[in-house]
Structure 1
Amino acid sequence: MKALTLLVTLATLTWGASTIGTVFDKTTQKPIPNAIIISGSKEYRTDCNGAFKVPASPIIGARAIGYERKFYKSGGRMYLQPFQPKALYLSSFGATHGKIMGNAKDIIKNTEINALVIDIKMDRGQIAFATTNPIANKIGAQELILFKDIKKFTAELRKEGIYSIARIVTFKDTPLITAYPQWGVRKSDGSLFKDKEGLYWIDPSQKESWDYMISIAEETAKAGFDEIQFDYVRFPDAKGVRFSVENTQAERVKAISGFLEAARTRLTPYNVFISADIFGYVSWHNADIEIGQRVDALSPYVDYLSPMLYPSGFNAGIPGHPDPVKANYEVVKQSLDKALEKSGTSPLAYRPWLQAFRDYAFDRRIYGAKEIREQIAASEAFGSCGWILWNPRNVYTSQGLK
């Protein structure tokens, strides 16, 4: 890395107050068009020949979908290594539990797994590291500080060659709404809405609430995570709810895409990848299925969309496959194909969540080697930028993995 940086420094070309350079694929030596270049707090893109010219900055960031991210002290010839995260999900508890984390690292050592998705802002609003955010401390979101030194934690993952993705549960947050009820989703009678778990939701159209989530994401990016993943970045899938704006598709989509646009702007200086989790059925609909998620509207503001393609979650099946747990390959492949039709981007702009837990909706089958491999095969046939295995209990084996 030091030698490469020195080489690039020697090859630097500057003109006036600008820095120019070209980004190449480290493996093929071919230029990378549309790569992202970060200079200061602004985002730029390389042209069709991989070239760029940006305002001079002490540090230049570079990244592209399907590649790693890098930082350079100057321009010239830059090289990005192709990289596709193949991840396991770990809760904050799992990531800080010696046995669970040890098992995950053993799987990483012996299989194709090379990344971890780790809860940072959890489902119940707790933030798993010691944040400096005053609101988090005020509302009681620091009762479960599981990462004693988050920067050291990410540095150790990086040293071991593990790509780190920070999962930020966005608009489901009981502590925040308890303290700031004016930001909460309401029922038709005006009272605060609670979901089936008894948890409060933030109304995504309440822009005043956005700063809290984005600030936590910023602090997480500063800690060294490679990617920020926004989950529950949607309106609740519930009837009889009220928001601060009219409950229409246009307003819902505007709120969710607006949040992601604001988050991307704030996260730009850190050259961190940004992703968003979306419902599996979103891939199949032109409308937002009443939650504000539409792939064509969200894709401009993230590097990756991660549809949750668990066959057990497709309660109505998909066309031609009413029993989705018997059609693992088809559910994943066809859902990704449908999403791509709507976004018009690249297969590399997708990284699906895959099922690694026992079926709960159909025949109760265990998802073992066959079922996991079928899903992976579908994702890879589509050409996605990796995939993520989900098991809420963090119970993983090498079954189905290469």
Structure 2
Amino acid sequence: MKNIIKKLNVLLRITVVSLLIFIMQSQTTTVQAAQNNKTESGASKVYMRGLYIPNHHSRNLKFIKALVANGKTSGINMLVLDVHSYGSTVLKVNKSVIDYLKSENIYVTGRVVCFQDGITKLPIPAAQMKTLNALVTSAADSGFDEIQLDYIRFADEKRPYKLKTRYEVIEEMLKNFRSITNERKIKLSADVFGRIVYNRDDLIGQKLELFAAYTDVIYPMLSGRNSERWS
């Protein structure tokens, strides 16, 4: 009986793996077909399928090469690389990684965490803003196709600041970061809580219309409570 159960478990695992491979191949074929159709029609839009890479891996050229070799078969044509390690504001970018990715026609995005836990106090210290501006500027000078702003928001808790004030603070930062990327002719994007797509007057100070005015791309983050639909 134990041998039969063992064989059934092995068979089940093989079936699941085969199904996953089939799904990935089907999705890749669909994406490639869509890209081909777009190209034939003369349109410039390209479907992007990307992966996020933490900083310690994003600087490892050997790791990146292996990732690209395996990822291309699944339609991966974009990588989002952390430009600094967790809790740090020091730029850590391997230029050879970026050059390699571009040689492989991989769209490269540099992710910058603006406020790890959200803004908790106003005014934001001048030294902190100076450091953040320098980090975004250095990242923009590193050869990325796009700079992605993450955690550009207030803390997800009640604070004695009016919504109007929160919007103004975030808008001023977006305006400044946009000027940095415009000067270098690269794109600017931002991660936002998934719930603000449905929300109005969210206490974190993120508003879809506000971000749309200054960014080329908006990435709604769907995870846990952040993706709950609020009314």
- By the TM > 0.5 criterion, same fold? yes
Q: CA deviation at 1:216?
A: 1.6
Match of 1:64 in 2: none
Match of 1:38 in 2: none
Aligned residues: 193
Q: 2:168 aligns with which of 254, 268, 284?
A: 254
CA deviation profile, 1:34-60 (whole Å, cap 9, x unmatched): xxxxxxxxxxxxxxxxxxxxxxxxxxx
Match of 1:296 in 2: 209
Distance of 2:215 and 2:190 partners within structure 1:
7
- CA-based RMSD of the aligned residues comes to 2.9
Match of 1:268 in 2: 182
Q: 1:161 aligns with which of 97, 100, 105?
A: 105
Aligned residue for 1:301, secondary structure, equals coil
Q: CA deviation at 1:220?
A: 1.4
Distance of 1:218 and 1:126 partners within structure 2:
12
Q: CA deviation at 1:100?
A: 4.6
After TM superposition, the structure 1 = structure 2 runs for residues 374-385 of structure 1, keeping only pairs within 5 Å, are none
**Cα 1:227–1:207 shift into 2, 3 Å:** farther
The answer as to whether partners of 1:205 and 1:255 remain within 8 angstroms in 2 is no
Q: 1:206 aligns with which of 124, 130, 145?
A: 124
Amino acid in the other structure paired with 2:166: R
Q: 1:220 aligns with which of 129, 136, 139?
A: 139
After TM superposition, the structure 1 = structure 2 runs for residues 163-178 of structure 1, keeping only pairs within 5 Å, are 163-172=107-116
**Cα 1:224–1:204 shift into 2, 3 Å:** farther
Unaligned stretches of 5+ residues in structure 2: 1-37
**Cα 1:115–1:204 shift into 2, 3 Å:** farther
Structure number with the higher strand fraction is 1
Q: 1:278 aligns with which of 167, 185, 192?
A: 192
**Cα 1:166–1:318 shift into 2, 3 Å:** same
Amino acid in the other structure paired with 2:192: I
The answer as to whether partners of 1:280 and 1:309 remain within 8 angstroms in 2 is yes
Q: CA deviation at 1:297?
A: 1.5
Is 1:90 aligned with 2:53? yes
The answer as to whether partners of 1:226 and 1:272 remain within 8 angstroms in 2 is yes
Identity of aligned residues (%): 25
Match of 1:39 in 2: none
Match of 1:235 in 2: 154
Amino acid in the other structure paired with 2:136: A
**Cα 1:248–1:89 shift into 2, 3 Å:** same
For normalisation by structure 2, the TM-score amounts to: 0.72
**Cα 1:122–1:255 shift into 2, 3 Å:** farther
Distance of 1:85 and 1:226 partners within structure 2:
13
Q: CA deviation at 1:218?
A: 1.8
The answer as to whether partners of 1:168 and 1:229 remain within 8 angstroms in 2 is yes
**Cα 1:126–1:269 shift into 2, 3 Å:** closer
Q: 1:305 aligns with which of 169, 193, 218?
A: 218
Q: CA deviation at 1:109?
A: 2.1
Q: CA deviation at 1:313?
A: 4.0
The answer as to whether partners of 1:122 and 1:168 remain within 8 angstroms in 2 is no
Distance of 1:248 and 1:123 partners within structure 2:
30
Amino acid in the other structure paired with 2:139: T
Match of 1:152 in 2: 96
Unaligned stretches of 5+ residues in structure 1: 1-24, 31-80, 130-146, 173-194, 320-337, 339-402
Distance of 2:206 and 2:226 partners within structure 1:
17
Distance of 1:309 and 1:153 partners within structure 2:
28
After TM superposition, the structure 1 = structure 2 runs for residues 56-95 of structure 1, keeping only pairs within 5 Å, are 81-95=44-58
Is 1:101 aligned with 2:19? no
Q: CA deviation at 1:201?
A: 5.3
Distance of 2:77 and 2:122 partners within structure 1:
33
After TM superposition, the structure 1 = structure 2 runs for residues 349-360 of structure 1, keeping only pairs within 5 Å, are none
Aligned residue for 1:216, secondary structure, equals helix
Q: CA deviation at 1:212?
A: 2.4
The answer as to whether partners of 1:277 and 1:306 remain within 8 angstroms in 2 is yes
Match of 2:76 in 1: 113
**Cα 1:123–1:235 shift into 2, 3 Å:** farther
The answer as to whether partners of 1:119 and 1:128 remain within 8 angstroms in 2 is no
For normalisation by structure 1, the TM-score amounts to: 0.43
Distance of 2:122 and 2:143 partners within structure 1:
27
Structure number with the higher helix fraction is 2
**Cα 1:122–1:238 shift into 2, 3 Å:** farther
Match of 1:46 in 2: none
